[in-house]
Structure 1
Amino acid sequence: MEHLPKGPGIVIFHHSIILVGYTLFLTKVYREKGRLCHSVIDHGLYGIPGLKMFYDVILMRDFTKAECVEILKKGHLLGIAPGGAREAIFSNDYSLMWGNRTGFAQLALEAKVPIIPIFTQNSCETYRTIGKTRLTKWLYEKTRRVLLPIYGGFPVKLRTYIGEPIPYDPNITPTELAEKTKTALENLQDRHQKRPGNILRALSERFDKQYKDD
């Protein structure tokens, strides 16, 4: 928690299919620091009946860029998963599927705030998708509306690691900052995640003395 800046910042994370670790991160930050962290979500999630009110209550919305800047100017944290729905649906192995997205980096430079990478160990072992094929990937790219079957709910051991903030640098380009952020997040994954992921191993970590002591 000591890596969280006292002022505003953009929290960047890998998007697993169900964001258990990130949700617990939000609650811990509020409980221990009294700080609000807004989260950017895809507008398509509003199509799920009954959930819009829930999203609004926990500050998850399809914020515009101007709204994001205003949130940061007020001193809040802002969570963004650059991989979005594509990463959530098709990345069961912690791979970052950001493509050429640099919007979060442009936002950080405009608002003059740091970027904080975070990573939840075993996040892809809680829930997984099935049916990841060439056809479903093609359908997603064409429609942006593919939803694969989800299974899981496994009580694996989760730990969220907060990386060192990447400070605001007026001399860096958005592309360079995005790449720097990606490298920082991948370094967190390399240090704290055994790959390929394994559900049984993640479950066993609940009973490992070394992990329990942590």
Structure 2
Amino acid sequence: MSDVGNQSCLATAEDFTSFLLCVFHSLEQWAGLGKAEDYLSVMEYLLWVFTPLAVVFILPFLIVILLYLSILFVHVFKRKNQLKDAYCNNLWDGARKTLATLWDGHGAIWHGYEIHGMEKIPEEGAALIVYYHGAIPIDYYYFLASVLLQKGRTCHSVADHLVFKIPGIKPLLEVFSVIHGPQEECVRALRGGHLLGISPGGVREALFSDETYPLIWGHRRGFAQVAIDAQVPIIPMFTRNLREGFRSLGRLKFFRWLYERFRLPFAPIYGGFPVKFRTYLGDPIPYDPNVNAVELAAKVQQAVQSLVDRHQEIPGNVLRALLERFPSKHKEE
């Protein structure tokens, strides 16, 4: 039918434009679409109807974004003298403080981030900080920023080897003293008088823990041996509502099998909810030469679990965590 239509068009068309219109109508009839103008008119009508609705919802959202960007600018501007001094002393110190200020502002604005027990972080000298690992450890980024801004100290960190494979991330890891984590390197950092943060649960805890906040440490004791070799205290750390901010679908059997079989951390993560984050630091566990790595690891795990039990309502609830952003809805602990 299309060939017949084309021949008819060739016979009747006076110019090229007429030929194209004739072919287009022939295709409409062949495809059984009727007149395309009708469909276009309907689409135009729907666009006319829904455009005001889209504007009604999109514009307030854009205003909220602008508002938060303005607050972030004020937060950075408030620290302009500190940033100026940091850049005068050292270029990388300035870069670190600038990024820390941005992260600190993001935490304050989006999650009302607070730290309880910052006085337990020593002003100088080494300590090992052991923390619960969320689906995305964004609380730890806020913590690093707060330690840098409030204590003037850069906390070294241990990250999974997969982090080092992210294209282009190496300069950032170097600036913030992130290491892969061989025990010798960790001990060296602590003996150098630095703070060091590590999560024994790591990727497995990030993917497979859930709103009931189980600690998934397995038989990992390397962190305890590091503290013993460096003769430093261990400070336990936990953030309330961390799993309500971001959650993982790793509890599904397929993703668990995928990780255990191929070590592929491909479990979807969802969230980004502006829930209330409160980081709690427990009492430091001092170095004891009479305690071995197995005993120390168990003691630290118990300390982190105690923070979870004391400060986290289980199971976690996103709505409840959102309401905690409003002081009248939350009873201070």
TM over 0.5: yes
Aligned match of 2:263 = 144
State the Cα deviation string for residues 2-46 of structure 1 (Å, max 9, x = none). 212342111001110111111111111111111111110111122
AA of the residue aligned to 1:127: F
Aligned match of 1:76 = 194
Aligned match of 2:222 = 103
AA of the residue aligned to 1:156: V
Aligned match of 1:60 = 178
AA of the residue aligned to 1:44: L
Matches of 1:131 and 1:74, distance apart in 2:
38
Matches of 1:127 and 1:211, distance apart in 2:
21
Return the match for 2:136 from 12, 15, 18. 18
Please state how far the C-alpha of 1:133 moved relative to its aligned partner.
Answer: 2.0
Identical residues among aligned pairs (%): 51
Matches of 1:203 and 1:171, distance apart in 2:
45
Q: Higher strand proportion, which one? A: 1
Matches of 1:4 and 1:48, distance apart in 2:
31
Is 200-209 or 44-53 further displaced after alignment?
Answer: 44-53
AA of the residue aligned to 1:194: E
State the Cα deviation string for residues 83-105 of structure 1 (Å, max 9, x = none). 11000111123211000000000
For residues 110-121 of structure 1, the aligned pairs below 5 Å read 110-121=229-240
AA of the residue aligned to 1:91: S
Matches of 2:249 and 2:258, distance apart in 1:
15
Matches of 2:305 and 2:251, distance apart in 1:
22
Is 55-64 or 117-126 further displaced after alignment?
Answer: 55-64
Aligned match of 1:122 = 241
Return the match for 1:47 from 143, 165, 178. 165
Please state how far the C-alpha of 1:179 moved relative to its aligned partner.
Answer: 0.4
What TM-score comes out, normalization by structure 2 length? 0.61
Matches of 1:115 and 1:67, distance apart in 2:
17
Aligned match of 1:2 = 119
Matches of 1:126 and 1:49, distance apart in 2:
26
Please state how far the C-alpha of 1:210 moved relative to its aligned partner.
Answer: 6.7
8 A contact 1:206–1:212 mirrored in 2: no
Aligned match of 1:178 = 297
State the Cα deviation string for residues 56-83 of structure 1 (Å, max 9, x = none). 2222220322221111112111000001
- For structure 1, the 5+ residue unaligned runs are none
Report the 3-state secondary structure (helix = DSSP H, G, I; strand = E; otherwise coil) of the residue aligned with 1:176.
helix
Distance 1:210 1:8, change over 3 A: farther
Report the 3-state secondary structure (helix = DSSP H, G, I; strand = E; otherwise coil) of the residue aligned with 1:118.
strand
AA of the residue aligned to 1:169: D
Please state how far the C-alpha of 1:213 moved relative to its aligned partner.
Answer: 6.9
Distance 1:118 1:131, change over 3 A: closer
Report the 3-state secondary structure (helix = DSSP H, G, I; strand = E; otherwise coil) of the residue aligned with 2:239.
strand
AA of the residue aligned to 2:300: T
Please state how far the C-alpha of 1:50 moved relative to its aligned partner.
Answer: 2.4
8 A contact 1:120–1:158 mirrored in 2: yes
Aligned match of 2:210 = 92
Instruction: Give the structure, 1 or 2, with the largest relative contact order (CA under 8 Å, sep 6 or more).
Output: 1
Matches of 2:120 and 2:192, distance apart in 1:
20
What TM-score comes out, normalization by structure 1 length? 0.94
Distance 1:73 1:204, change over 3 A: same
Matches of 1:72 and 1:57, distance apart in 2:
18
Superposition RMSD on alpha carbons, in Å? Answer: 1.6
Matches of 1:212 and 1:154, distance apart in 2:
21
- For structure 2, the 5+ residue unaligned runs are 1-117
Report the 3-state secondary structure (helix = DSSP H, G, I; strand = E; otherwise coil) of the residue aligned with 2:162.
helix
